C-alpha cells in the first residue's frame, strides 16, 4: 500500500471523528513518570501523533516533544485543539526523516503495528538509528490475542504466535496490521540490543457496544545501548 493511499485513508478516518473526545491513555502518565525531570530537557519524537489525544497531554506536561503524522487532517485537528503545538508538529513520514542518533526518546502508541512484518522491522531499525545512545522507546502495540472485530484475513503467521492480517472492511480496509506475541517483542528488543526497562505489560479492554470482543495491547519501555 502506498504512503499516499494510507494517508488518504487516515484523513478519512479523522474526518469521521476518529478519537474525537476520547481521553488520553494511562500509558501517557507512565511516559511522564518514566522521563521524570529529565523530560523537560530531553528532546523527544512522537511518531503517529494523530489529532493529539495522547500527544497534547504529553506536551502540556512540559515535554520538548515533536509530533509527526502522515495525516494532514490529523495535524490540522491537533493544532485546532492546541494552538501552542503549531510549530511542534508536522506532516511527515518517520522513515523519510533523517535518522542519526537525533532523539533522546521516541513515543510510538499503536503505530509500529501498521504494516507487514517487514514494515514493522524497518520501523524498529529506523528507531534504533534515530535514538541517541541511552535513548528510550515508549512502545504500545497490538497483542496477538486481540479479538479482531472487522472482517479480515491472515497473510503472515509465526510459531511465536504473532501474525499479520489485512482488513476487509472498516476504516483500515485493505491495510495490513501486525499483532505481536510477547515472545516476538522480546526477540526484536534482543536483535537491536535494546535493554528492556519495563517488561511488556498486556492491557485488555472491552469494545464499546454495539461492537463486541476485547482488544489487547502490549506496553513496554526499551532503552538503546549507551555505546
pLDDT at 2: 45
Contact call for residues 220 and 204 (beta carbons, < 8 A):
no
- Where is pLDDT greater, at 1 or 24? 24
Q: What is the DSSP letter of 159?
A: T
Domain of residue 94: give its range.
3-112+124-144+194-203+210-223
Cell of 158: 509465526
Q: Does the residue 154 lie in any domain? A: no
Strand intervals (E) in 12-116: 43-47, 64-69, 89-91, 103-109
Q: Indicate the pairing of strand 152-157 with strand 163-167.
A: antiparallel
Q: Does the residue 179 lie in any domain? A: no
Distances (CA, A) of 173 to 74, 150, 194: 19, 9, 33
Contact call for residues 130 and 161 (beta carbons, < 8 A):
no
Q: Does the residue 164 lie in any domain? A: no
pLDDT of residue 4 exceeding 60: no
Q: Does the residue 174 lie in any domain? A: no
The whole model's pTM is what? 0.95
Q: For the chain, give the mean pLDDT.
A: 94
Assign residue 52 the CATH number of its domain: 3.40.50.150
pLDDT of residue 9 exceeding 60: yes
**pLDDT-derived band of residue 27, with 50, 70 and 90 as boundaries?**
very high
pLDDT at 101: 87
**pLDDT-derived band of residue 140, with 50, 70 and 90 as boundaries?**
very high
Q: Does the residue 176 lie in any domain? A: no
Amino acid at each position: 500500500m502506498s504512503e499516499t493511499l494510507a494517508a488518504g485513508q487516515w484523513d478519512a478516518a479523522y474526518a469521521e471523528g476518529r478519537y474525537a473526545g476520547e481521553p488520553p491513555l494511562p500509558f501517557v502518565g507512565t511516559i511522564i513518570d518514566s522521563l521524570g525531570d529529565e523530560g523537560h530537557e530531553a528532546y523527544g519524537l512522537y511518531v503517529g501523533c494523530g489529532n493529539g489525544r495522547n500527544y497534547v497531554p504529553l506536551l502540556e506536561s512540559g515535554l520538548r516533544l515533536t509530533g509527526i503524522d502522515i495525516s494532514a487532517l490529523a495535524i490540522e485537528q491537533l493544532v485546532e485543539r492546541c494552538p501552542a503545538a503549531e510549530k511542534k508538529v508536522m506532516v511527515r513520514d518517520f522513515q523519510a526523516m533523517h535518522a542519526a542518533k537525533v532523539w533522546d526518546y521516541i513515543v510510538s502508541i499503536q503505530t509500529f503495528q501498521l504494516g507487514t512484518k517487514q514494515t514493522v522491522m524497518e520501523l524498529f531499525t529506523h528507531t534504533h538509528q534515530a535514538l541517541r545512545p541511552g535513548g528510550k522507546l515508549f512502545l504500545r502495540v497490538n497483542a496477538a490475542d486481540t479479538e479482531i472485530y472487522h472482517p479480515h484475513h491472515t497473510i503472515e503467521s509465526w510459531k511465536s504466535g504473532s501474525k499479520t492480517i489485512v482488513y476487509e472492511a472498516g476504516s483500515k480496509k485493505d491495510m495490513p496490521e501486525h499483532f505481536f506475541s510477547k515472545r516476538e517483542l522480546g526477540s526484536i528488543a534482543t536483535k537491536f540490543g535494546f535493554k528492556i526497562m519495563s517488561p511488556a505489560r498486556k492491557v485488555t479492554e472491552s469494545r464499546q457496544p454495539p461492537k463486541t470482543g476485547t482488544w489487547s495491547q502490549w506496553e513496554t519501555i526499551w532503552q538503546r545501548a549507551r555505546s
